[in-house]
Amino acid sequence: RLDLMPELISALQMHNIIISLSYLHSVNIVHGDLCGRNILISEEGCTCLTDFGLAVFVELETSIKISTCDGSTWWMALELLHSNIYSPGMSFHCTIKSNVWVFVCVCCEVRLGL
């Protein structure tokens, strides 16, 4: 599997990450700190999400605001970062939508090999 073209390897990794993230969202869990360092990749190319310390279980009705988000700033959704900069000391909230933003950041990271 590792002898595949780099584009295909990164596409498979991104696919595995989104499958994992989709599962979490289907059971109303927001990871809270998805970033490159929290994704393990085996020698066979299988991915595994790790570090669920900031993950939260949410009810569908409350998925807009769920938990204070203290995740990695570089991967933080813009609305969360904006809230933190312009409202210091105020809590801001991770959502399923912000997890999707982070997934896109991770895709860029995987594709660029960072």
> Any idea which residues carry the catalytic annotation?
33
Q: What is the DSSP letter of 43?
A: T
Q: 95: which DSSP letter?
A: -
CA separation for the pair 80, 15 (Å, rounded): 25
The 10 Å Cβ neighbour count of residue 107 is 16
